[in-house]
Amino acid sequence: MKIMNEIEAEFDCRVVSIEVSDGQPVEFSTNLIKVEKL
C-alpha cells in the first residue's frame, strides 16, 4: 500500500538529500530527508 503525506517544516529550508528510494518501505522514525536551514 502506498501512502503519500505532505511534510511541513517549522522553518525555511532546502532539501539537501533524500535518504530513501522511491517505493522503499519505511518504518516509524526513519529519516526520509536531510534539510538545511536557510
Dihedral sign from CA coordinates of 31, 24, 18, 5: negative
User: Nearest to residue 30, comparing CAs of 21, 15, 9?
Assistant: 21
DSSP letters for 1-38: ---------SS-EEEEEE-S-TT----TT---EEEEE-
pTM (global) more than 0.75? no
The whole-number pLDDT of residue 33 equals: 94
The whole-number pLDDT of residue 10 equals: 93
Q: Residue 21 sits in which domain range?
A: 1-38
In whole angstroms, what is the distance from residue 22 CA to residue 31 CA? 14
Query: In a structure prediction context, what are the per-residue pLDDT tens digits for the chain, which is 38 residues long?
Result: 678 888 899 999 999 999 999 889 999 999 999 999 99
Indicate the number of domains in the chain. 1
The whole-number pLDDT of residue 20 equals: 95
